[in-house]
Amino acid sequence: MISIIAAFQFLTIFPTIIKRMFTSQEMGRAVAWFPLVGIALGFLLYGVNYLAQIFFPISVSATITLFAWIIFTRAFHLDGFMDTCDGLFGGFTPERRLEIMKDSRMGAFGTIGGILVLLTKYTALHSSVNLFAALILATTLGRFASPIAIYFFPYVRENGLGFEMKQQVTLKEIVIASLITGITCLFISSPLSFLLMLASVVISVLLSLYVMRLISGLTGDIYGAITTVVEMFVLIIFTIT
């Protein structure tokens, strides 16, 4: 239970139940439950959208849902995506890219990237042909893609929470995360679900390989960027199917 609570406290605004720092082993085990956090988030966001549509038009409901998405996750993954954009595109050497990514200030690439993410998610939420499936799969697959990157690719720094967590992640956590995600896809009852699950793995691997060429390893920001990209991809797919 501690690892499940750790996953929720780490990725969302879930109330602080365990009022201490989690150990690296607990955080490593928490990775297995990232998709479970995604499932809960997806249901919560769909509930927000459902209630919003009682009172507001679809466009306003989509805005409220996106706002809730940011609040519930503390903009955790969005911030990682924006820092990644700044670092990867604003630096010319691995050292400079990592330095920029650690800087709390936001640059042009990060700002533009963040705006494009929000616009893409908004228009996808507004145009989705099956919003329930879109939200459940987007949030779940996004949090399934990051454990893949955590386990299979090296961490660029040799200190910090991200490195300690990565050191504790084993194949067991990946199997659990895969089972949770697979059952969710089965629940959605659509062949497309499993194709998107496969696509999320491909996106995670391709993005990780691209980053490896630039900074020879991943960071916590990269994990957030992978989650964000997969979420956008899934939402976009549900505007055309």
Instruction: Please tell me the pTM assigned to this model.
Output: 0.95
**Contact assessment for residue 229 and residue 203, using Cβ atoms and an 8 Å cutoff:** yes
**Contact assessment for residue 108 and residue 53, using Cβ atoms and an 8 Å cutoff:** no
> What are the backbone dihedrals phi and psi of residue 16, each rounded to the nearest 5 degrees, phi first?
-75, 105
Q: How far apart are the first and last CA of the chain?
A: 38
For the chain, the structural domain boundaries read 2-15+32-237
Encode the chain (241 residues) as per-residue pLDDT tens digits: 899 999 999 999 988 888 888 888 999 999 999 999 999 999 999 999 999 999 999 999 999 999 999 999 999 999 999 999 999 998 889 899 999 988 888 889 999 999 999 999 999 999 998 999 999 999 999 999 999 999 999 999 877 677 888 889 999 999 999 999 999 999 987 789 999 999 999 999 999 999 999 998 899 999 999 999 999 999 999 999 6
CA 163 to chain CA centroid, nearest Å? 18
Residue type present at position 99: E
